[in-house]
Amino acid sequence: MASESKPRVRVPGSAKKGEIVEIKTLINHPMETGNRKDPKTGQPIPRFLINKFVATFNGKEVFSADMHTAVSANPFLSFFFKASESGTFEFTWTDDNGKAVKESAKMTVS
C-alpha cells in the first residue's frame, strides 16, 4: 500500500461492561477512482482504492465494509461496539493490489 497509508484509530482505553462505545478509524489514502486523467499527460490515472476494511475484537469480526469508487480520499469509518470483555481490536485495510495495513488497540472492560 502507498507510503501515505497511515491509519489512526480511536478506541476507548476502558469501558464498563455493557457500555456501548464508539470506535473511530481514519486512514490516509488517495482513493484514486481510475476515472481521472493526469493533467500533464492526459493519460488515465490508474484505479487505486482501499476496497475492504475489517475490524475484529479478540479474533471475532465485529464490523466490515466494502468500499467502492464513491468513497472519498482518506476514508473515515465509525461504528459502535457493546463492551462485554477486555481485549484487542485488530483493524485491517486492504487495497486493490491485495496489500494490507493493520493497526490494533486494546480496551479494558470492568
Q: Could you read off the pLDDT of 25-83 as tens digits, one per residue?
A: 999 999 999 999 999 999 999 999 999 999 999 999 999 999 998 899 999 999 999 99
Per residue in 56-70, pLDDT tens?
999 999 999 999 988
Domain ranges of the chain: 7-109
User: What is the fold, at CATH topology level, of the domain defined by 7-109?
Assistant: Immunoglobulin-like (2.60.40)
pTM above 0.75, yes or no: yes
Task: List the 7-10 sheet strands across, edge first.
Answer: 7-10, 20-27, 76-82
Grid cell of 91 as nine digits:
483493524
Taking residue 9's Cβ as centre, other Cβ atoms within 10 Å add up to 16
